[in-house]
Amino acid sequence: MRLVVARCSVDYTGRLTAHLPLAPRLLIVKADGSVLVHSDGGSYKPLNWMTPPCTLTTSRRGDEEAGEDAGDAGDDWIEQWDVVHDKTGDKLRVRLVEVFEDSSHELGVDPGLQKDGVEAHLQALLAENIDTLGEGWSLVRREYFTAIGPVDILARDDSGGSVAIEIKRRGEIDGVEQLTRYLDLLNRDPLLAPVRGIFAAQAIKPQARVLAADRGIDCVTLDYDALRGIDDAESRLF
């Protein structure tokens, strides 16, 4: 990755035309070929950019290929970047007048984003706070083994009845079908039956709610921050 802090002007031509007058900006050239132009505001979104596949060529003032209209950079620009999209032909032209910082860094392969609040975290938090489902509830165990896979949580309600809980970040029809298969198997065990089901998620799609109701399964929306003790729902104004 190359990072350049410079006073520059930027012009985009092609399917649309855009112009950034001369000002200090951060220019980012990534290993995948993308080029981004950032200011010191506007949150994460660049002012202008070119996505791959594209070709970047650079030239210095005085080169023949850079002899077109100088725009508001005048005759003071010292380096020009021409970034052309390989498929559309759109062009991003950056003219640098003054360079404050220019550095390159090898970042290597990124392991990717690991989101907070994934199903394993939700499962652990709900197991630790099983009484959020009802007063007098108790945990039997997490990852309760069955012949077709583990049930996320097996619990007992305040009457001592068995409850199988399937947990998802986003509750969709597939999750309801999965819990249905677990319930069919668990209810064949005389030591557990009758077993009812709860489908729990941070967000549950309407179609999944309809199917769950048809199967006699309750739906519960999980508040991740409340389970972690960060957010006290009872203290909210709204």
Phi-psi region of 120 (alpha: psi -120 to 50; beta: other; left: phi over 0): alpha
Arithmetic mean of pLDDT, 32-58:
92
Its pTM stands at 0.52
Same domain? 25 vs 50: yes
Q: Which residue has the tokens 């938090």?
A: 125
Q: Which residue's entry shows tokens 């990072």?
A: 3
Amino acid sitting at position 41: G
The verdict on 66 and 149 lying in the same domain is no
What average pLDDT is seen over the chain?
A: 88
Final residue before a domain boundary, out of 81, 104, 127? 104
When divided into structural domains, the chain yields a total of: 2
- pLDDT-derived band of residue 237, with 50, 70 and 90 as boundaries? very low
Is 114 inside any structural domain? Answer: no
Residue 111 lies in a domain: no
User: 124 with 100, same domain?
Assistant: no
> CATH number of the domain that 219 lies in?
3.40.1350.10
| pLDDT tens-digit readout, 162-196 | 999 999 989 999 999 999 999 999 999 999 999 99
| H-only helix segments in the chain | 119-128, 173-186, 206-214, 224-228
Choosing from 78, 104, 130, the residue where a domain stops is 104
By residue range, what is the domain housing residue 224? 119-235
